[in-house]
């Protein structure tokens, strides 16, 4: 069995699939070995794997009628002996669910993409199999009925339609919710998913899919979207926040390692070494401690460099210069280990935009540029909620309805562009929509109505200042409060949280043309490059990102300029 698993992993790494080997003989042998009689009947000969032309690595899922499932008894709390396996399962499953959200949206846009469909099927199959091993009954039941639906889609018996996509996304949300309970309480929670299981069962027939389509209302709020809305009002994640627990190498050895992305492996990895040889998991606490030590080393280096010019010993000067080079390279290397592409948090936005566009009856196309732009992991976590709220606001307030867009001479489908790039030692993030824009007069009237500004202030404010009033506490232009927006707390929290990490946010808008919201944040909070100045015996550090220009002033000119 171990050899078979190793062989399939090798195929996944080299060919992006599980290979064409049929392991049914091995499965039958392992089944017989579960009884003494079967063990006696089993030949000592190794079970030969049969080659098949048809690439079906797993047995076809059961397709029995699952439209009337009974509630499944929740599993008991996890035993301590299973903790390492559960921790590893949580880490991998969270990664898989994030990818499933993205893959399902891509599959909805390209239903004929068999590669994505096969990847989704394998991921759910893996989650289901591990749940059975751990004893997570409810989670296994939900994953199993979802696997049945995916199996029929993969075999061409059914066509993917919006109700089936929504059902599969609901399955992903349910699995994520159970994983949250498992991580927090060490059980699957008390929620009954029988209705979801029955719905997924109905979706396995065309008649059932039509019934679900006519009976189910449009999703007002998906689980990820609602979670992001709720957390948008919370404080940002601090630098000390713990990541989800990552097991030690010894604990990982007790669990069968699985590849993260089983679809397309980057060419550069194919040209070099295997996946297992190019990456390892490291607890973020270790990186934090290492970064703190590097920070102390940088301070010690700066002290040495400060006194080096006053020394006449050439050997000491050369050594201090070499120390400077090595410390700089070490600092850059350690910082790079903490860097993550911003695409890690952008991956959920296609799902958010899809759900919101369905909820508000709009057509929105999401485009993303610069997904490989890297920044510190702590900052990645800190900007996740603010960016999500901005995207939600753009969908709800920014982009118009299809009827309004057509009446204004635009395409009925609106465009939301996310762009990220490095500039001036900072990360720049732009959220651009081609919607109706923001009318400064509307903002002014609303601000006066809510007593955010006085009449005298309103008369002195320009259009740019008026538009930026959307960041004022309690301010909202929404006509009514909905489950999407209108409470007047989101944009205020967005600005507050971004400024807490040393960033800034600005907005530009043209009525009828669209809105651009720019966010600037530092690359990292661990080490801040600064200009050191000394005056009257006191030393001051000015962050370089706040510097526009350095001007040298001599003698009396300096005193006059300061005065």
Neighbour count for residue 414 (Cβ, 10 Å): 25
User: What average pLDDT score do residues 118-142 get?
Assistant: 88
Model confidence at 524: pLDDT above 70: yes
pLDDT for res 107: 92
Q: What percent of the chain has pLDDT over 70?
A: 75
What domains, with CATH codes, occur in the chain? 1-54 (no CATH), 66-226+233-262 (1.20.120.160), 282-337 (1.10.287), 363-522 (3.30.565.10), 530-562 (no CATH)
Model confidence at 269: pLDDT above 70: no
Instruction: Choose the weakest-confidence range: 120-134, 143-157, 255-269, 374-388.
Output: 255-269
Neighbour count for residue 333 (Cβ, 10 Å): 10
- Residue linked to tokens 């059980």: 187
pLDDT for res 482: 58
pLDDT for res 558: 59
Report how far residue 408's alpha carbon sits from residue 228's, in angstroms, rounded to the nearest whole number: 32
Closest to 187 (Cα-Cα) out of 197, 177, 196, 195: 177
DSSP state string for 100-166: HHHHHHHHHH-TT-HHHHHHHHHHHHHHHHHHHHHT-HHHHHHHHHHHHHHHHHHTTSS---HHHHH
Pick the residue with more confidence: 222 or 261?
Answer: 222
| 264 pLDDT tier (thresholds 50, 70, 90) | very low
Task: Please list, in sequence order, all residues whose beta carbon lies within 8 angstroms of the beta carbon of residue 357, skipping any fewer than 6 positions away.
Answer: 363, 364, 395
Report how far residue 239's alpha carbon sits from residue 382's, in angstroms, rounded to the nearest whole number: 9
C-beta separation of 171 from 164 below 8 A: no
Neighbour count for residue 467 (Cβ, 10 Å): 22
Instruction: Choose the weakest-confidence range: 43-47, 361-365, 404-408.
Output: 43-47
C-beta separation of 167 from 161 below 8 A: no
pLDDT, averaged across the chain: 78
Report how far residue 326's alpha carbon sits from residue 72's, in angstroms, rounded to the nearest whole number: 60
DSSP state string for 452-506: SS-HHHHHH--HHHHHGGGGSTT----SS--SSS-SS-HHHHHHHHHHHTT-EEE
Distance, CA of 257 to chain centre: 22
Model confidence at 372: pLDDT above 90: yes
Pick the residue with more confidence: 408 or 239?
Answer: 408
C-beta separation of 294 from 344 below 8 A: no
The pLDDT tens digits for 409-424 are 999 999 999 999 998 7
Strands 530-535 and 426-433: unpaired
C-beta separation of 16 from 265 below 8 A: yes
Distances (CA, A) of 549 to 408, 538, 545: 45, 22, 11
User: What average pLDDT score do residues 97-113 get?
Assistant: 91
Give the HSE-up count for residue 186: Cα atoms under 13 Å, Cβ half-sphere: 10
Q: What percent of the chain has pLDDT over 90?
A: 29
pLDDT for res 545: 73
Give the SS3 label for residue 432.
Answer: strand
User: What average pLDDT score do residues 352-359 get?
Assistant: 91
Q: What tokens were used for 556?
A: 């009396």
Give 249: exposed, middle or buried? Use CB within 10 Å, 0-12, 13-18, 19+.
Answer: exposed
Give the SS3 label for residue 439.
Answer: coil
pLDDT for res 72: 52
DSSP state string for 183-205: HHHSS--S---HHHHHHHHHTTS
Q: Residues in the chain, how many?
A: 563
Report how far residue 171's alpha carbon sits from residue 178's, in angstroms, rounded to the nearest whole number: 11
Report how far residue 405's alpha carbon sits from residue 109's, in angstroms, rounded to the nearest whole number: 22
Model confidence at 325: pLDDT above 80: yes
Task: Please list, in sequence order, all residues whose beta carbon lies within 8 angstroms of the beta carbon of residue 473, skipping any fewer than 6 positions away.
Answer: 488, 489, 492
| 342 pLDDT tier (thresholds 50, 70, 90) | very high
Contacts 24+ apart (CB under 8 A), 540-543: 543/502
Give the HSE-up count for residue 471: Cα atoms under 13 Å, Cβ half-sphere: 19
Q: Which of the listed ranges 73-77, 150-154, 288-292, 313-317 does the model predict with the highest average pLDDT? A: 150-154
Give the SS3 label for residue 400.
Answer: coil
Predicted TM-score (pTM) of the model is 0.66
pLDDT for res 231: 43
Report how far residue 256's alpha carbon sits from residue 136's, in angstroms, rounded to the nearest whole number: 17
Closest to 163 (Cα-Cα) out of 209, 199, 204: 209
Give the SS3 label for residue 51.
Answer: strand
pLDDT for res 78: 67
Q: What tokens were used for 442?
A: 């509307």
| 70 pLDDT tier (thresholds 50, 70, 90) | low
- DSSP run (H or E) holding 516: strand 514-522
C-beta separation of 18 from 8 below 8 A: yes
User: What average pLDDT score do residues 160-185 get?
Assistant: 92
C-beta separation of 47 from 33 below 8 A: no
The pLDDT tens digits for 380-399 are 988 999 999 999 989 988 99
Instruction: Choose the weakest-confidence range: 14-18, 66-70, 286-290.
Output: 66-70
Closest to 77 (Cα-Cα) out of 162, 190, 233, 171: 190
Report how far residue 317's alpha carbon sits from residue 329's, in angstroms, rounded to the nearest whole number: 19
Strands 363-369 and 413-423: parallel
- DSSP run (H or E) holding 340: strand 339-341
User: What average pLDDT score do residues 232-249 get?
Assistant: 38
pLDDT for res 306: 82
Report how far residue 103's alpha carbon sits from residue 260's, in angstroms, rounded to the nearest whole number: 14
What angle separates helix 137-154 from helix 194-202, to the nearest 10 degrees? 10
Neighbour count for residue 68 (Cβ, 10 Å): 10
Q: Where are the alpha helices (DSSP H) in 263-360?
A: 267-271, 275-278, 284-307, 314-337, 343-346, 349-360
| 479 pLDDT tier (thresholds 50, 70, 90) | low
pLDDT for res 253: 37
Give the SS3 label for residue 339.
Answer: strand
């Amino acid at each position: 069995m171990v050899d078979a698993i190793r062989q399939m992993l090798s195929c996944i790494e080299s060919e992006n699939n599980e290979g064409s080997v049929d392991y049914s003989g091995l499965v039958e042998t392992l089944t017989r070995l579960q009884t003494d009689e079967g063990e006696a009947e089993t030949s000592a000969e190794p079970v030969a794997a049969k080659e098949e032309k048809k690439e079906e690595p797993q047995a076809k899922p059961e397709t029995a009628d699952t439209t009337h499932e009974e509630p499944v008894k929740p599993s008991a709390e996890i035993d301590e002996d299973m903790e390492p396996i559960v921790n590893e399962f949580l880490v991998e499953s969270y990664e898989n669910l994030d990818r499933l959200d993205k893959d399902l949206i891509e599959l909805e846009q390209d239903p004929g993409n068999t590669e994505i469909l096969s990847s989704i099927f394998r991921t759910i199959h893996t989650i289901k199999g591990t749940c059975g091993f751990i004893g997570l009954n409810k989670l296994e039941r939900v994953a199993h009925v979802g696997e049945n639906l995916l199996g029929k889609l993969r075999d061409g018996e059914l066509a993917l339609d919006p109700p089936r996509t929504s059902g599969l996304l609901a399955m992903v949300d349910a699995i994520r919710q159970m994983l949250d309970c498992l991580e927090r309480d060490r059980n699957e929670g008390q929620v009954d998913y029988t209705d979801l299981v029955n719905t997924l069962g109905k979706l396995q027939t065309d008649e059932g899919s039509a019934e679900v389509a006519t009976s189910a209302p449009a999703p007002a709020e998906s689980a990820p979207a609602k979670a992001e809305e709720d957390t948008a009002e919370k404080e940002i994640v601090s630098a000390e926040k713990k990541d989800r627990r990552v097991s030690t190498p010894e604990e990982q050895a007790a669990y069968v390692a699985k590849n993260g992305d089983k679809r397309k492996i980057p060419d550069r990895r194919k040209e070099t070494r295997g996946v297992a040889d190019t990456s390892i998991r490291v607890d973020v606490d270790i990186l934090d401690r290492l970064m703190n030590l590097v920070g102390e080393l940088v301070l010690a280096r700066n002290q040495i460099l400060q006194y080096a010019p006053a020394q006449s010993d050439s050997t000491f000067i050369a050594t201090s210069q070499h120390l400077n080079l090595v410390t700089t390279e070490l600092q850059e290397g350690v910082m790079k280990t903490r860097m993550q592409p911003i695409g890690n948090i952008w991956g959920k936005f296609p799902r958010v935009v899809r759900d919101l566009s369905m909820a508000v009856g709009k057509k929105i196309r999401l485009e993303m540029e610069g997904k490989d732009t890297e920044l510190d992991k702590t900052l990645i976590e800190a900007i996740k909620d603010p960016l999500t709220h901005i995207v939600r606001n753009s969908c709800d307030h920014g982009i118009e309805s299809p009827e309004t867009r057509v009446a204004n001479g635009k395409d009925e489908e609106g465009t939301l562009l996310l762009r990220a790039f490095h500039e001036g030692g900072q990360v720049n993030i732009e959220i651009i929509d081609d919607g109706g824009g923001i009318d400064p007069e509307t903002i002014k009237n609303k601000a006066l109505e809510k007593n955010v500004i006085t009449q005298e202030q309103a008369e002195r404010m320009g259009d740019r200042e008026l538009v930026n009033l959307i960041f004022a506490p309690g301010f909202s232009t929404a006509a009514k409060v909905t489950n999407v927006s209108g409470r007047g707390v989101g944009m205020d929290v967005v600005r507050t949280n971004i400024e807490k990490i040393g960033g800034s946010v600005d907005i530009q808008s043209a009525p009828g043309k669209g809105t651009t919201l720019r966010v600037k944040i530092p690359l990292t909070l661990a080490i801040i490059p600064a200009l050191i100045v000394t005056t009257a015996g006191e030393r001051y550090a000015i962050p370089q990102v706040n510097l526009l220009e350095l001007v040298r002033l001599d003698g009396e000119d300096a005193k006059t300029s300061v005065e």
